Structure 1
Amino acid sequence: MFHIGKSNEITRRAFMHRSSQLAVMGAASGYAMGLAGLSDAAAFDSSGGYKALVCVFLLGGNDHANTLIPFDVPNYNRYSNIRGGLPANGGIAIARDALAGQVLNPLQEQTLTDDMQLALAPTMPRLKARFDQGVMAPLLNVGPLIAPITRQQFDSEDLVSFPRPANLFSHNDQQSTWQSGSPEGSVSGWGGRIGDLAASSNTNSMFTAINASGSGVFLSGDQTQPYGISSNGAITVRALNRRLYGSQAASDALRTLLTAGTGHVFGNDYAMANARSIQFSGFISDALENVSLNTDFGDGSLASQLKTVAQLIAARGSLGVTRQVFLVATGGFDNHDGLIGTHEGLLASVDTALDAFYQAMEEVGVADQVTAFTASDFGRTLASNGDGSDHGWGGHHLVLGGAVNGGQFYGTAPTISIDADDQVGRGRLLPSTSVDEYSATLAKWLGVEASEIPLVSPNIGNFNSPDLGFMREAVPAG
């Protein structure tokens, strides 16, 4: 029996609970609320020192087929033919000779589908080295699912017997579904639901969930609201600290616009987030003042976001937290055209930023306590549309951290085909691993007890793997 209604019920409870909270709380109550720790969860393992999850969201739908690329000759030839050959011949395949130094050889013997060998994109040498080191693992063909579904069941269009996520292939809906389990309009994300359970572990629960991306439902919970930061640290509004256009009245009016509720739950939510970020920007700035990292993050939005996250983790003692969930994001992955060149550059920025982040965690001394992982709207078609690829479903993702059982693959490698039973047309992958399994594995590592996992991953009861095995217990640390 499929547990279809549980996600909707959790979302409904979250909406009702948050509505009642927002109706009685003003902006000034935020810090006291954080100190109190609103979470009423009974089961959470907060032992083992500090732990954090960092979701790196690739906005637009990452082309997984040019991120993890078949290297063995039979599968490479299939891949190249389906992608139209090399760019010089009008295709979007990566040249095989560019992959020789990027082949991912598992540290333990492992056989993939059709004896496949996979190589990481040529512009990701740092993460390839992290795989070889045993702290990075690829998760193959993961995507949103309500329950396991076969190609035949999918083709039947029987939505009652064989449910599937709503509005597949839609950017907004699938971003929301990846982050929350429901399409656009959801008010609760699985990062926020982890935050609900973890908040009581923190002296100051306000900083349990921190959003550096500026948007996304991922960190919204029943009781947890994300604290917004910028890529430079605390969010400040200069006009609130001086006379706007020479007028104090104008500054006061701007403050009211940013922080006053509207009577609508989402308007109130937005206002509270603004009020919290503005009111406690000084607190964040003070906490970061004495943080100095030697790691060179380089340039770029993702690198800047991850640098700020690293600084906040270094300041965890001042913030009063032992469990945190972060969201960072970078865009540009909707490559219907111009895939070659553009995509390699995007992956290079991910490679550089994630590697620098791992270095920073080593510098801070919590590499075993912090796990970064990628997510995206969806994967893309294996078939070329001429100059790019189109919206898909399942895709490949990467998990990085000292507690990762790295150096091997997790999940099932898809067949290199456009008409096999593990895809739904044009090489759109039918996920073999669900986002619920992905989130449940990460939540368990952070400290969510088995009895509470369905609150984070509502469909987990429909799957066989509440723990995919890619995480090991972290070494206790401060």
Structure 2
Amino acid sequence: MNRRRFLGQASCSAVSAIPVLNTLLNLRLASSIANAAPPQPGEYRALVCLFMSGGNDSFNMLSPLSGPSATHANARAEYENSRGNLALPLTGLHEIHPQNTPGRTFAVHPSMPKLAARFETGDAAFVANVGTLIEPVLNRGQVNNASKRLPLGLYSHSDQIEQWQTSVPQSRSGIGWGGRMMDLIKDINPNQLVSMNISMDGSNVFQSGVTGAEYAVKPSISATEGGAQALLGYAEGYSANNLTDVSSAAVDSMLARQYSHLLQQTVQQKRRDAQDAYAIYHEATLGTLPGSVDFRLVANQALDLPANRLGQQLHQVAKAIMGRSTMGALRQTFFVNLGGWDHHSNTLAEQEWMLRDVDDAIGAFWDQLALLGVQDQVTLFTGSDFGRTLTSNDQGSDHAWGGNHFIMGGAVDGRKIFGQYPGLALNPEGNGAELNPLDTGRGRMIPTTSCDEYFGELALWLGVPPSSLHLVLPNVGNFFTPGATGPLGFFG
């Protein structure tokens, strides 16, 4: 970590401490480190956050197929009527049969057969109509008359991305809920040089904590390239016989210097730790992953197939998981990101190939986890800025609120849809009888599951004690009382 980044993170933490909520939260976190009970010997768990930046049109990723909805006797007919030219045809849809929606079936997007298969075998589940909330909001009247507190910048990309990653929608913050988890439970890991939080997409708010931040590495651009980046011009084991060796000697000399000034001491220690972290991560990920799983790391010009950007990131996640013992990691989070979901036009065509890339990448990742023998110890979950309007703007969909997400892992109580999949009826524009209390206009759905409920389940599984969950998710008490089991139950 260089001085500029160190100072930037320090400034970010200072700015986030301005609101009273964050000031109190940071102080309580600072006094509550190592609050988690130690795991069983060798018990490893990891969360992988797959963020879809731009706002995924998730009511086409998971759509109703048969049976009634809360607002119509025929949910499929209601879907077609509300979506208009954005409705997917029946041909090609992957029918799924949730165990907890009697009398109803649903469909997964035609581009996602692997996700549908994982769902049907019980290794994946969906969480319906999730969104940022400060407190429960039950109907559009509470939105229109401002009788409930609403998230800042409700339909804004920047605000909603931040809120999905901080779970503090009433104020702006540079500290993420993944970072707060790290602050609380990182001492479970015996080695602290490589952060518990590892990002394949550079800096992010989700993994930034009070006591540290993410360790950012590069995605795999081939089976052997990617990962932690060495200090330019530095080579271990040098003998001072050429320019590179002279440069390396100069770096070591600089790192050996001692300073009396506190800031200089801190920056110098960060430099030493960065060098040590690189050496550990590099060694941990040197090996070859078992099997020959195709993450589509490089483009195939003969078949006109580009490299899979998400596959490149998940391949590097798999390598880090493989090297967990070398890193001394019993708990980890990973952040991967695929942008480009802001489909105000050409929605159906764009989503077709993007969801195919997601499906191919998570399918390869699952196969690799199985070969590593850790599919029960790793859970992948999705996030996005927001859902999108059910109605079409004639070319695509626009910014909305609640949306659907999926979770995948051997520990997941799969083949279920958790939360409440809403009726998709549209309220009339202007005056007219209300058909759907959740529609705030144009099919912008009020979330029926809060981010706090969604994230709370994940945090408890990773090892955050129920008594400390409010330190990770400050609004969690507005939605449920933390206990031994999660609010939604998707870990059984």
Q: 1:105 aligns with which of 97, 103, 118?
A: 97
Distance 1:109 1:326, change over 3 A: closer
After TM superposition, the score normalised by the length of structure 1 is 0.80
Confirm or deny: 8 A CA contact 2:59 2:390 kept in the other structure: yes
Confirm or deny: 8 A CA contact 2:35 2:465 kept in the other structure: no
Tell which deviates more after alignment, 208-217 or 405-414.
208-217
Which residue of structure 2 aligns with residue 51 of structure 1? Answer: 45
1:288 aligns with 2:288: no
Alignment deviations for residues 105-140 of structure 1 (CA, whole Å, 9 cap, x no partner) = 02x3523xxx54310001100010000110100000
Distance 1:274 1:297, change over 3 A: farther
- In 2, the alpha carbon distance for the partners of 1:131 and 1:290 equals 31
Residues 291-306 of structure 1: matches in 2 within 5 Å? 291-294=288-291, 295-299=293-297, 300-306=308-314
Distance 1:109 1:153, change over 3 A: closer
Which residue of structure 2 aligns with residue 119 of structure 1? Answer: 107
Distance 1:388 1:310, change over 3 A: same
Distance 1:237 1:321, change over 3 A: closer
**Secondary structure at 2:383's aligned position in 1?**
strand
Q: 2:145 aligns with which of 134, 156, 173?
A: 156
Tell which deviates more after alignment, 9-18 or 341-350.
9-18
Instruction: Report deviation, 1:287.
Output: 1.3
1:455 aligns with 2:471: yes
Instruction: Read off the aligned partner of 2:33 and give its amino acid letter.
Output: D
Tell which deviates more after alignment, 183-192 or 453-462.
183-192
Which residue of structure 1 aligns with residue 433 of structure 2? Answer: none
Alignment deviations for residues 192-225 of structure 1 (CA, whole Å, 9 cap, x no partner) = 1111122110011333111111132000112231
Instruction: Report deviation, 1:272.
Output: 9.3
1:366 aligns with 2:359: no
Instruction: Report deviation, 1:238.
Output: 6.7
Distance 1:276 1:348, change over 3 A: farther
Instruction: Read off the aligned partner of 1:57 and give its amino acid letter.
Output: F
Residues 197-212 of structure 1: matches in 2 within 5 Å? 197-205=184-192, 206-212=194-200
Which residue of structure 1 aligns with residue 54 of structure 2? Answer: 60
Which residue of structure 2 aligns with residue 165 of structure 1? Answer: 151
Which residue of structure 2 aligns with residue 442 of structure 1? Answer: 458
Which residue of structure 2 aligns with residue 431 of structure 1? Answer: 447
Confirm or deny: 8 A CA contact 1:193 1:222 kept in the other structure: yes
Which residue of structure 2 aligns with residue 35 of structure 1? Answer: none
Q: Tell me how large the CA RMSD over aligned residues is.
A: 3.4
- In 1, the alpha carbon distance for the partners of 2:270 and 2:351 equals 34
Distance 1:301 1:276, change over 3 A: farther
Residues 207-356 of structure 1: matches in 2 within 5 Å? 207-232=195-220, 233-236=226-229, 239-241=232-234, 280-294=277-291, 295-299=293-297, 300-356=308-364
Which residue of structure 1 aligns with residue 180 of structure 2? Answer: 193
Instruction: Report deviation, 1:271.
Output: 11
1:468 aligns with 2:479: no
- Identity rate, percent: 37
Detail structure 1 runs of 4+ shifted over 6 Å in the superposition. Answer: 14-18, 268-275
1:406 aligns with 2:394: no
Instruction: Report deviation, 1:387.
Output: 1.1
**Secondary structure at 2:91's aligned position in 1?**
helix
**Secondary structure at 2:289's aligned position in 1?**
coil
Alignment deviations for residues 87-110 of structure 1 (CA, whole Å, 9 cap, x no partner) = xxxx222111222xx11102x352
- In 2, the alpha carbon distance for the partners of 1:407 and 1:47 equals 28
**Secondary structure at 1:57's aligned position in 2?**
strand
Confirm or deny: 8 A CA contact 1:236 1:278 kept in the other structure: no
Stretches of structure 1 that go unaligned for 5 or more consecutive residues are 1-5, 22-37, 85-90, 257-264, 474-478
Instruction: Read off the aligned partner of 1:153 and give its amino acid letter.
Output: Q
Stretches of structure 2 that go unaligned for 5 or more consecutive residues are 1-16, 68-73, 221-225, 236-242, 255-262, 298-307, 428-435
Distance 1:148 1:109, change over 3 A: closer
Tell which deviates more after alignment, 209-218 or 364-373.
209-218
Distance 1:271 1:125, change over 3 A: farther
- In 2, the alpha carbon distance for the partners of 1:270 and 1:374 equals 35
**Which structure is higher in helix share?**
1
1:146 aligns with 2:134: yes
Which residue of structure 2 aligns with residue 83 of structure 1? Answer: 83
Instruction: Report deviation, 1:332.
Output: 1.0
Confirm or deny: 8 A CA contact 1:64 1:379 kept in the other structure: yes
- In 1, the alpha carbon distance for the partners of 2:268 and 2:290 equals 33
Instruction: Report deviation, 1:62.
Output: 0.5
Instruction: Report deviation, 1:386.
Output: 0.9
1:131 aligns with 2:131: no
- In 2, the alpha carbon distance for the partners of 1:315 and 1:145 equals 37
Instruction: Report deviation, 1:286.
Output: 1.3
Instruction: Read off the aligned partner of 2:317 and give its amino acid letter.
Output: V
- In 2, the alpha carbon distance for the partners of 1:409 and 1:274 equals 47
Confirm or deny: 8 A CA contact 1:14 1:188 kept in the other structure: no
Instruction: Report deviation, 1:82.
Output: 2.2
Instruction: Read off the aligned partner of 1:202 and give its amino acid letter.
Output: N
**Secondary structure at 2:336's aligned position in 1?**
strand
Instruction: Read off the aligned partner of 1:445 and give its amino acid letter.
Output: W
**Secondary structure at 1:178's aligned position in 2?**
helix
Confirm or deny: 8 A CA contact 2:295 2:312 kept in the other structure: yes
Confirm or deny: 8 A CA contact 2:203 2:216 kept in the other structure: no
Alignment deviations for residues 153-177 of structure 1 (CA, whole Å, 9 cap, x no partner) = 111124xxx1111110100110000
Distance 1:125 1:272, change over 3 A: farther
1:384 aligns with 2:392: yes
Tell which deviates more after alignment, 60-69 or 45-54.
45-54
- In 2, the alpha carbon distance for the partners of 1:198 and 1:340 equals 42
Alignment size in residue pairs: 424
Confirm or deny: 8 A CA contact 1:138 1:398 kept in the other structure: yes
Instruction: Report deviation, 1:437.
Output: 0.7
Tell which deviates more after alignment, 7-16 or 446-455.
7-16
- In 2, the alpha carbon distance for the partners of 1:274 and 1:143 equals 39
After TM superposition, the score normalised by the length of structure 2 is 0.78
Distance 1:219 1:77, change over 3 A: same
Distance 1:94 1:7, change over 3 A: farther
Confirm or deny: 8 A CA contact 1:378 1:395 kept in the other structure: yes
